[in-house]
Structure 1
Amino acid sequence: MKAIKWVADPMHSEVQFKVKHLMITTVTGYFKNFNIEAVTSDDAFTRAERIVFTADVNSISTNNEQRDAHLKSADFFDGEKHKEIRFEAKSYENVGGDDYLLHGDLTIRDVTRPVTVGVELGGIVVDPYGQTKAGFTVDGKLSRKDFGLTWNAVTEAGSVVVSDEIRLQAEVQLVKQL
C-alpha cells in the first residue's frame, strides 16, 4: 500500500505543557513553533509508519517574559545549546475505538528517554478547500528530572517551587499531503 504523508496544520494545532508552581497552582506554557510529520499506510490513520514531532525551544511561551527567559536558560532547556525538543514514535497502538497509545523516544537537552502518550483520534474530514484533515487530542506525563531539568528552589515553608511532573497536552490537526 502507498505511504501517505501528513503534516501539522499550525493554525489549528497547539502543544502545551502544564507544571505545578509552589505545588498550589498550575502554570501553562506552549511552543509557538513546532512541526509534526506522520506517514501512514491508510487514510483512516489506523496505522502509523512514522510520526516525528519537533519543537523550537526558543519559541516557548508561558505569557511571562522573565519566566520564559529562565526556561530558555541553562537552568532548564538551555536553548542556546539545545535548540530542539524531538519525539520520534516507535509504535502507534489501538487500545479500543478511537483511543491509541503512542510509544516513542523523547529527546530534551540531548537526553533521550522512552515516553508513552495517550492519543484520541477525533476524526478525519475533508475541509471546505478539499484538504483531508485528521484531528487528535494528545495527553501524557513525564518527569522533567529524567531529562536533566533539575533546577528547583525551596520556599521558607519547605515547598518546592516547580513540580517534577510535567503534563503534556496537545490538540493536533494534520493535513494529508497529495
Structure 2
Amino acid sequence: MTDIATRTWDGMTIPVAGTYLLDQAHKRIGFLSRHMMVSPVRGEFAEATAQIFVAEDPLLSSVTATIASASITTGSLDRDTHLKSADFLDVERYPTLEYRSTGIKWQGNEDPIFQWARLRSHRLGGRGRSPIVPPQSDGTPGRFVLTGELMVKGITRAVDLEVNFGGARTDPYGQNIFGFSATAEINREDYGLLWNVMLESGGVLVGKTVQIEIAGEAIHQA
C-alpha cells in the first residue's frame, strides 16, 4: 500500500498508479429502460467484479469487468425471471456479461460549455468587449470517455462510457480509494435481445434503448 493516495496530472488530482479492485460494498451496476413507451423501469446487477489498472500515464489506464447475468434484479420476481430466460439474457447459457476498455480520453477541455464560451468570447471580443469565460475546474473531479467493448450473450459491441471521476483519498481504514460514476446508452437488439410485444395503441411493450448507470469506489491493491 502506498502512503500517498493522490498525485497531480495536468492540473488534476488523480489516484496513484497501480491496480485497483471494485469495492463490493460501494458499487451499483444499474440500467434503465422504458415500459410501454411511457414509464422508466430501473434495475441492477447485484454481482460484479472489476479490475482497474491506473497507469503512470493515466491515458494508458485500462478496465476489465465481469457481471453475473443471473444477479439481475428489478424489484419484480416475475420480470426478473423473464429477463433471465432465453427471451433476454439466457443466463444458463451465458452466465456473465463482460466489459474491457480499449482506450481513454480526457474530456476536461472538450465540455460543450467551454466550447460555447470560447466561441462567444471570440464574438464578443470582435465588438470590443471583454471576453467572459467560465473558470476552469480546480482539477479535483474530472470527466473522461472510456472506449471499450461490451459482450452480452456472446455478442460483442463497442460501448463508450462517459466517466465522471469523483476524487481520490485515503479512507479511515488506511486504504487508497477513488470514486467514479459512468453512463452509456445501448440498443439491446444489438445483442440479440429481441423479444417484444407490439401495442395496439402503437409502440412496443419494452423499449429498445437501455441506459447504463454505474457508480462505485475502487480500492488500491498492495
Structures share fold, TM-score greater than 0.5: yes
Are residue 165 (structure 1) and residue 209 (structure 2) matched?
yes
Out of 27, 34, 54, which is 1:20 matched to?
A: 34
The one-letter amino acid of 1:79's match is V
TM-superposed CA distance for 1:54, in Å, is 1.1
- Please give the alpha-carbon distance, in whole angstroms, between the structure 2 residues aligned to 1:73 and 1:92: 34
Q: Which has the larger radius of gyration?
A: 2
Aligned to 2:75: 63
Q: Pick the structure with more strand per residue.
A: 1
Specify the SS of the correspondent of 1:10.
strand
The match for 1:113 among 147, 157, 170 is 157
Greater helix proportion: 2
Measured against aligned partners, the alpha-carbon deviations of 1:105-142 in whole angstroms (never above 9, x if no partner) come to 10000000111110000000110010011100101100
- CA RMSD after TM alignment: 1.5
- Unaligned stretches of 5+ residues in structure 1: none
TM-score (norm 2): 0.76
1:48 Cα deviation from its structure 2 partner? 4.6
Percent identical pairs in the alignment equals 30
The aligned residue for residue 129 of structure 2 is: none
TM-score, scaled to structure 1: 0.94
Instruction: Find the residue that maps to 1:141 and give its secondary structure.
Output: strand
Q: Which one of 29, 48, 53 corresponds to residue 39 of structure 1?
A: 53
**Corresponding position of 1:95:** 107
The question of whether the paired residues in 2 share the 8 Å contact of 1:46 and 1:94 is answered with: no
State the match for 1:8 in structure 2.
22
Matches within 5 A, 1:115-130: 115-130=159-174
1:26-61 Cα deviation digits (max 9, x unpaired): 00010010011111124xx83353201111000000
Secondary structure class of the residue paired with 2:37: coil
Distance of 1:172 and 1:141 partners within structure 2: 18
The alpha carbon displacement at 1:92 in A equals 1.4
Structure 2: which 5+ residue stretches go unaligned?
Answer: 1-15, 109-138
Give distance in 1, aligned partners of 2:214 and 2:157.
20
